[in-house]
Amino acid sequence: MTEHEDKKKAPNPEPEHAPNGAGEDPAEELDFEPEDDPSRLVEDEAELGSLGAAQAKLKKLKLELAKAKAERQEYLDGWQRCKADMLNARKDLLAHATRTSERSKESLALSLIPALDSFDMAAAAEQWASVNDGFRTGMEHVRTLLLEALSAHGIERFGREGERYDALLHDAIEEREDVAGESGTVVRVLRVGYRMADRVLRPAQVIIKP
């Protein structure tokens, strides 16, 4: 075998490394981290600051909203209480005015009843028929006017012969069996009664048949 053939078959020697990294890929050796950008840090801090401020403002707005709702409810409750108090006061005032009006009417009626009793006694006397016609007519007209005035205020007379006896309306002075009429009825009216609506101002004095 020739020397030329031996060289041809001999394995290629490994390439020797270049000293000091000569021959290596520069991209593989340039392994570095970029330095932080100060302007970017300032922007990030500004964004964080803005977000914190927004959250704080939102929290403040929520507190103010809750406070406003509580105050609104307080004012609403107070207004409702005032309205209820006003309505109650109005009802009390109207009730008081009604009672005062009724007492005034009762007082008026009680002051006129004795005068009407005098008219009734005079008209029931035997001498009444002998009184001058003009005078008698004038007195009866006055009596009628008084009764109409009482009626205009809701005050009425009651008590008639023949009506059923009612302990709430009649004051039975006497019981008589020797008179005509049905049992338990009024056979004679001694003094008429007066009432205002359902309130009896004075019961009628009567004689009844048991």
Strands 185-191 and 199-202: unpaired
- Express each pLDDT in 18-61 by its tens digit: 444 444 544 445 454 555 555 665 565 666 667 878 888 888 88
pTM, two decimals, is 0.59
Dist CA 118 CA 134 (whole Å): 19
Query: Per residue in 147-170, pLDDT tens?
Result: 999 999 999 999 999 999 999 999
Q: Mind listing the pLDDT tens digit for each residue in 72-100? A: 888 888 888 898 999 999 999 999 998 89
- Tell me: pLDDT of 146 over 90: yes
Alpha-helical (H) ranges within the chain are 3-9, 26-29, 38-124, 133-152
For residue 103, pLDDT beyond 80: yes
Closest CA to 111 of 103, 122, 99: 103
139 class by beta-carbon count within 10 Å (0-12 exposed, 13-18 middle, 19+ buried): middle
- pLDDT averaged over every residue in the chain: 82
Opening angle at CA 54, ends 52 and 57, nearest 5 = 110
Please give the backbone phi and psi of residue 88, each rounded to the nearest 5 degrees, phi first: -65, -40
Domains of the chain: 157-210 (2.30.22.10)
The residue whose two tokens read 């004075």 is 202
Distinct helix (H) and strand (E) counts, the chain: 4, 6
